[in-house]
């Protein structure tokens, strides 16, 4: 079974530039999550999708971050404009629907904002 | 707002020893408590998880102890091996939603 795919693996940009990350979840997983993991910290949930609908985006900085999952499969997370404090690893995870909450994570995209 | 507090930040254990990592949570609505293991350059991977209707769950060398009244849970790694060296995260969530992670514990198992 293929895992959660993310690209790119690394991205270096200057502050105020824009950046986008892509995630393809495990086939059949209706729930998709984006997390931000700052160095030395645990992942922080940014947004959760159920199919193509948003379940929770309470911790998403909506003035600069946006995410979509138009066809209910793959998803993109965008930052525009980026700030220095956005430097982090952006993790995508997916899970089946239901109370058994096994989330499978991708390897992440490491973003450096200079 | 830190809803899950994890300690210690780092831990060094000799091969064959017991590694113990502790977590405390605040929100009594949490009903699912997983532990994730993360190696450098990889995403977190589920190690073991528990729900609040049981006080202990064991899978191989890994055991979760859960104290609902104290709102605390811990991970015990028996017979720790160098291959267990990784960062461990506890987490808590409400059903399938709102998962909150601890800050992580970097475990080093010395040969």
pLDDT tens for each residue of B50-93? 999 999 999 999 999 999 999 999 999 999 999 999 999 999 99
Pairs of CB atoms within 8 A across A/B: 58
- List CB contacts (< 8 A) between B24 and chain A: none
Q: Which of A41, A42, A56, A107 to mutate to test the interface with B (most CBs of B within 10 A)?
A: A42
CB A92 within 8 A of CB A32: yes
Q: Which of A3-7, A61-65, B27-31, B59-63 has the lowest mean pLDDT?
A: B27-31
pLDDT, tens digit, for every residue of B5-52? Answer: 999 999 999 999 999 999 999 999 999 999 999 999 999 999 999 999
Distance CA A10, CA A12 (A): 7
Within 5-24 of A, beta carbons closer than 8 Å to B belong to: none
A-chain residue closest to B33, CA distance: A101
In the prediction, which pLDDT does B2 show?
Answer: 64
Distance CA A107, CA A37 (A): 12
Total Cβ atoms within 10 A of residue B87: 18
Task: Over range A62-86, report the average pLDDT.
Answer: 95
CA distance A54 to chain B (A): 12
Total Cβ atoms within 10 A of residue A62: 10
SS3 B8: coil
A51: closest CA among A2, A96, A86?
Answer: A96
Indicate the pLDDT class of residue A86, thresholds 50, 70 and 90.
Answer: very high
């Amino acid at each position: 079974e293929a895992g959660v795919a993310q690209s790119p693996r690394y991205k270096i940009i200057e502050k105020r530039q824009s950046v986008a990350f892509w995630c393809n979840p495990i086939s059949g997983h209706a729930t998709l999550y984006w997390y931000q993991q700052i160095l030395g910290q645990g992942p922080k949930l940014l947004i959760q999708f159920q199919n193509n609908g948003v379940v929770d985006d309470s911790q998403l900085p909506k003035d600069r971050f946006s995410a979509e999952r138009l066809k209910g499969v793959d998803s993109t997370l965008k930052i525009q404009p980026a700030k220095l404090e956005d430097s982090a690893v952006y993790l995508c995870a997916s899970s089946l629907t239901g109370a058994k909450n096994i989330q499978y994570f991708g390897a992440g995209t490491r973003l450096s904002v200079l | 707002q830190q809803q899950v507090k994890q300690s210690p930040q780092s831990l060094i254990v000799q091969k064959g020893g017991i590694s113990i990592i502790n977590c405390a949570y605040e929100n009594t609505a949490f009903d699912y408590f997983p532990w994730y293991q993360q190696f450098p350059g990889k995403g977190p991977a589920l190690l073991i998880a528990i729900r609040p209707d049981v006080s202990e769950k064991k899978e191989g060398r890994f055991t979760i102890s859960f104290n609902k009244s104290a709102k605390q849970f811990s991970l015990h790694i028996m017979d720790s091996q160098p291959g267990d060296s990784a960062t461990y995260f506890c987490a808590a969530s409400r059903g399938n939603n709102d998962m909150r992670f601890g800050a992580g514990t970097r475990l080093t198992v010395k040969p």
